[in-house]
Amino acid sequence: MAAKPRMFVFDSWAIIAYFEDEPAGQKIEEIIIDANEREIPMWMSVVNAGEVWYIVARQTSPSEAESTIAELRSLGIQLDNPDWKATRQAAAFKSKHKMSYADAFAAALSMQKNAHLVTGDNEFKQVEKEMKILWV
């Protein structure tokens, strides 16, 4: 039996799926509710939060993007400011794999926190042997 997650990191794919009520959004909502009930820490890199912000701003408006980030935080998801160690890890992922730089930050944060990365983004398939991924 796989170990129960003790921490989660969300990439922008998962958060966008949640906010846009995509099919995976229900599963992500269940993870968030369960994490809050069991007091499991949830994280997201500010780089990925910035990605969510610009996607929402493009689709709607900057004020809606601000509201989305505020709601993200109200869900209990903490934003992490990457230090040099995390940035260096993200750069290493980017240098070795065909993935976006923002995704590399999600992967680096997941490794740094020893957390399960919550995603459905197939870009992470190439690094799934290097970290714990919760596919949604």
Residue 4: its pLDDT value, please? 76
Nearest 10 degrees: Cα torsion 127, 135, 14, 36: -120
Residue 76's CB is within 10 A of a number of other CB atoms, namely 14
Residue 5: its pLDDT value, please? 79
- CA distances to 11, 13, 105 from 124, rounded to whole Å, are 10, 11, 12
Residue 88: its pLDDT value, please? 97
d(CA 129, CA 107): 12
Residue 8: its pLDDT value, please? 98
Residue 1: its pLDDT value, please? 37
d(CA 128, CA 118): 12
Stated pTM of the model = 0.93
pLDDT per residue over 70-102, tens digit each? 999 999 999 999 999 999 999 999 999 999 999
Domains and CATH numbers, the chain: 8-135 (3.40.50.1010)
Residue 3: its pLDDT value, please? 61
- From first to last of its 136 residues, the chain has per-residue pLDDT tens of 356 779 999 999 999 999 999 999 999 999 999 999 999 999 999 999 999 999 999 999 999 999 999 999 999 999 999 999 999 999 999 999 999 999 999 999 999 999 999 999 999 999 999 999 999 9
% helix, strand, coil for the chain, step of 5 = 60, 15, 25
